[in-house]
Each structure stands twice: as C-alpha cells, then as structure tokens.
Homo-oligomer: A and B are copies of this chain.
Amino acid sequence: MTKEMRLKIFWIVFSVALLAGAQTASAQDAASKQQQLKHALSAYGQAWSADDAAQRAKLLAGIWDDSASYTDPTADVKGTAGLLSVIEAFHKQFPGARLVPVSSADLHHGQFRFAWKAVGADGSTVVDGMDFGELGPDGKLRKIVGFFGPLPTRM
C-alpha cells in the first residue's frame, strides 16, 4: 500500500466517522427538541385545565415566553398576562372544563401543530380545534395560533 493510498483511506474513514457523528448529534437534537415540546405542551394543557388562577400562572411560568403571542378566532393577546386572561374567560364560560390533546405534536424547524378538544365538566366536547405554534431555542412556547373546528370544506 502506497503512502497516498493509506492517506486516502484515512480521509475516507475520517469523513465517514465525522458524518456519522454529525448525524447522531442531529438525531439527538431532534429528539431533545421533541422532548422539550412534549414537556411545554403538557404544561400548557394543564394550565388551560387548572381551575385555580395561581396554579395556571405557575404552570405557564416555565414554558410560556413572556413576549409570546396567543391568537384564536376570539382572542389576540401578548405575554403571560394576556394568555392568563383568555384562560380565565374560558373557565368563566365553561367552569370545570379541561383541554385534552387529540393528536401528538408534529415538529420541524421549531414549528409545530397539534389537535385538541376542550371537554366540559359533564364530559361533552365544548370546542375542538388545532393549534400551530413556535418553540423557542430555550424550549419555551413563543407563539400559538388556534383554529376551531374541522378544516373548512372546499367551496
């Protein structure tokens, strides 16, 4: 084996190892982002479901960016106080209601979607819908846009 051949083989092995390492790191990163989102959306759902206002604020503290926006067909607010006031109004309208995820969350490039339903105290669905949002690099939710009901049929 010539010196050049040995060098060539070394570079091939080295490049493959680098590439494998990078892919593993990237897969780990994706899995960790998915975990972050799972954690954030779990706390988010609990905050919507909590009857106690102080408990809601505590749940949002770790996962809701304070400059985050929340928008649905009936609301368009900024920050933790904004979201808390929307949840407060939801509980006034539907005392004892809970937010239940209907799908897992889909995530790419920090952008996610998931389906949910709000279940009243009597177990009936009071509204269902889909949320789209952004997960920040710190694992906090930066934006949620909700839509109610199914996708509109084509006109």
Interface residues of A (CB under 8 A from B): 71-73, 76, 101-106, 108-109, 111, 113-115, 130, 132, 145, 147, 151-155
This chain: copies in complex = 2
Q: Is the CB of B103 within 8 A of A153?
A: yes
Shortest C-beta distance, A101 to chain B (Å), equals: 6
Q: Is the CB of B145 within 8 A of A104?
A: no
User: How many angstroms between the C-alpha atoms of A106 and B123 in the bound complex?
Assistant: 28
User: How many angstroms between the C-alpha atoms of A72 and B104 in the bound complex?
Assistant: 18
Q: Is the CB of A103 within 8 A of B71?
A: no
Among B73, B106, B152, point to the contact of A151 (Cβ < 8 A): B106
User: How many angstroms between the C-alpha atoms of A152 and B105 in the bound complex?
Assistant: 7
User: How many angstroms between the C-alpha atoms of A94 and B154 in the bound complex?
Assistant: 25
Q: Is the CB of B109 within 8 A of A154?
A: no
* Interfacial chain B residues near A155, Cβ < 8 Å: 104
